[in-house]
Amino acid sequence: MIILACDHAGYLLKEQIKEFFNKENITTIDVGTYSTESVDYPDYVKAGNQKVLENSNNVGIYICGTGIGMCIAANKNPKIRAALCSTTNFASLARKHNNANVLVLPGRYINKAKAIRIIKIFLTTTFEGGRHARRIKKLKEI
């Protein structure tokens, strides 16, 4: 399942992404926010993380203005590996090398078309394992 979360600065892009998923008949869970009214992003990260961790196949897509705040907040949970990605290459490597389970997007700095390209790469790229699995194990020990 794909979990969507955003703050007010990411709301418009989240709605565009949700529209894309709906057209593709891909089900998402939207944990908010639901408007451009100012909110505190950690509240939506917490709700998103809870849903992502309900099933190991779940992935999150979180969006705020720069992506930085949501990425920091998401990674407070040791079972979340959130990656701020502004390019398809970053999205690919986040999955291949880091087995990221949350994609964070900078809503004020990318448009819908670029966001969709990044999302498609993130969702279709698999973890390489090998030496990267050893590093993920070490992350869990920190």
Residues with catalytic annotation? 97
* Spacing of C-alpha 76 from chain mean position: 14
As a whole number of Å, the CA-based R_g of the chain is 14
Distance between CA atoms of 63 and 115, rounded to whole angstroms? 10
Residues 6+ apart with CB under 8 A from 49: 60, 74, 77, 80, 102
Sheet with 2-6, edge to edge strand ranges: 28-30, 2-6, 59-64, 102-106, 82-84
- Give the E-state strand segments of 34-120 in sequence order: 59-64, 82-84, 102-106
